[in-house]
A and B are shown apart, each in its own frame.
Chain A
Amino acid sequence: MARALTKRKKDGSLYKRPPEIEAAIDLALKWKLERQLISARIRSRDDQDFMTIECLLHIIREAQRNDDRRAVNTLLPELLRRCEALLFVKIQRSEFANADDLCGDVLQNFCELLAKDGAESDSDLLDFYECRFNLAFRGIRVARIREEVAFTSETVPMPEPVDDAEGSLSADDVLARLSEAARVPAMQDENLYMADLRDAIYALPEDECKAVVLCRHLGYNIESENPDEQTAATKCGVTGRTIQNRLARAAKKLVRFKEDK
């Protein structure tokens, strides 16, 4: 039977694996290592013996706790191959010249967490990964990309252009649609469009990109009369008017992107 998770949520309750993952782990733990390896190597999710990455991780964590080095040495490469496949989707050579190195760094960061897992102070380090692996793993990936972008981009603050306020009307219209699209996970067939849209937002000047995401993705107000409220303006250290101008300029560029598509 799968070992119970010990990591607690903010409200004090324990994390729980989804029932289907719990059942898959219970089944896989009864198998011999050779059988587990066969299952771990199946690529098609439609195959009834396909092993989820959460299940594979659990078996490796257990093997590590029980000092079963043969099992760890056999299954760890399979887990990391799966992780690498996840990274290939998001870290592409067309975007990063050093994509392979970045993938390697993320894998090493993950391996560091795994190696330390089960040590006295870090006993529940990877519990969440057994519930929703992809969500947890992207944290390591995005953190590494963030470092990379910060390292490679030399940003020079530009003087704030003065816009007339008329643009803000069309900005609301364009960006409202964007905000809805951004909050719903892309389906496979619209993934390419969303990837292009994301790239268009990335391509905006940093201040405009930040304004768009703060207001339209995260849901911050542009400004507020309440001095205690955090808004896009307070977070960027500028006035609400400046945020409106940045949104308007961003909207004009994103309208052009939509027209080109």
Chain B
Amino acid sequence: MTKTDTLNTALHALAVAERTPSADCLEELISQYPEHADALTDMAIELALDAMTADEPVEQDTPDAGEVSPAVSRAISHYQNIRFGLETKSLPVDGSGRVAAPIANPFQELERSSFKEFTTNMDVNTTFVMRLRDRQITPESIPVRFTQDVAEHLNVSVELLAAHFSAPAAISAGQHFKSESKPVIQRQQDFEQAVENSGLTIEQQEMLLNYLGW
């Protein structure tokens, strides 16, 4: 166990011991984790003050069923990246939860005809699909339900697709270019900007932006 792990274990033990920690409880934990005495004391103070007010949200503060906020969307993406990293083991996940090693690009596997079929089935255009393929959209901004739908159409797992989106932006290996110099990787846009700047029809934009409200 690293020092951070033992700190987290100690803080968790304190949080679940009592709603308002007592001096006895705190000292017992400090005797178990003397190296974290200061952190435990600070945490106990925060917990004691926190306990002065109720924890439960009132019903009207709960978001409507089915709504997924950007924070929830990002958290799910983080979860999927970690699961993917654990499942493949060989692919380390960095501190931000992004897969650090190169990973398979599920769009790369598509034949020309499959690529076109996918574009049609998703009711988008080639420019937008290429942005997905080349990871030009910030992964945190991609709605979870959209990722799920794309994964279903590509017949790959959500975790693998989420890991692909989270990897660094790249120029597709098989891509041809006419200029003398290799094209520069475009700066990432968020999902909404990508929808607006890909030459999609109004109907297609509305359909895609609807994913944000889910």
Contact = CB atoms under 8 A, between A and B. Distances in A.
Grouping DSSP codes into helix (H, G, I), strand (E, B) and loop, the A interface class, with mixed when no group exceeds half, is helix
- Chain B interface residue count: which class? 35 or more
B65 interface: yes
Contacts of A65: none
Contacts of A42: 65
A12 to B, nearest CB: 15
B82 A112 contact: yes
Nearest to A134: B55
Interface residues of A, number: 68
Interface stretch (B17-25, B119-127, B192-200): B17-25
Contact of B12 (A77, A88, A139, A185): A139
A44 B59 contact: yes
A62 B73 CA distance: 22
Interface stretch (B42-50, B98-106, B172-180): B42-50
Nearest to B63: A81
Contacts of B24: 219
A77 B68 contact: yes
Contacts of B82: 111-112, 115-116
A146 B42 contact: yes
A188 B22 CA distance: 24
Contacts of B61: 85, 88-89
Interface of A: 41-45, 64, 69, 73, 76-78, 80-82, 84-86, 88-90, 100, 103-104, 107-108, 110-112, 114-116, 119, 128, 132, 134-136, 138-139, 142-143, 145-146, 150, 181-183, 185-188, 191, 194-195, 197-198, 201-202, 209-210, 213-214, 217-220, 230, 235
